[in-house]
Amino acid sequence: MINMFMGEYHHSIDEKGRLIIPSKIREELGEEFIITRGLDNCLFIYKKEDWKDLITKYKELPNTKDARNFMRFFLSGAATCNFDKQGRVNIASTLTNYANLEKDCVIIGVNDRLEIWSQENWNKFISENEENLSDIADNLFSINL
């Protein structure tokens, strides 16, 4: 069976940076997981074993300026996290600031990771991309979806 994250969930982050993660996702993530800066002003969450696989791939990158800069960006924000008794994760202020997480958040499953978006950034992403999704799919896939 292939494990993957999918779906869209709406929750609020509190003033202390705590965000409830749905119980179905908590079970899949496990006790410890990694949160880091993602692309497009969202946060990425990885299962610990997927994170280790990702880092192994990154170690194979050439020592170019782009690779070094990406690694600095990606790894400097990374933190090992776990859930409190209420199923919340405490997100560091550097990460909440990066992703503009203030109140309403959207958690989406994207195959091997979760992404946490501010509601505002998610709405902007959807409105900017929904008209082009058919063209994007045509460019990426040779099969019909």
CATH number of the domain within which 104 lies? 3.40.1550.20
Rounded to two decimals, what is the model's pTM?
0.89
- Give the tokens for residue 47: 């299962």
Give the pLDDT band (50/70/90) at residue 144. Answer: low
In a domain, 137, yes or no: no
In a domain, 130, yes or no: no
Rounded Cα distance between 26 and 53, Å, is 20
What is the domain count for the chain? 1
Owning domain of residue 103: 8-118
State the number of CA atoms in the 13 A half-sphere of 141 facing the CB: 8
- Taking residues 80-87, what's their average pLDDT? 94
Q: What is the mean pLDDT of the chain?
A: 90
Rounded Cα distance between 53 and 144, Å, is 30
Q: Can you give the pLDDT at residue 143?
A: 59
In a domain, 88, yes or no: yes
Bridge partners of 104? 12
In a domain, 132, yes or no: no
In a domain, 27, yes or no: yes
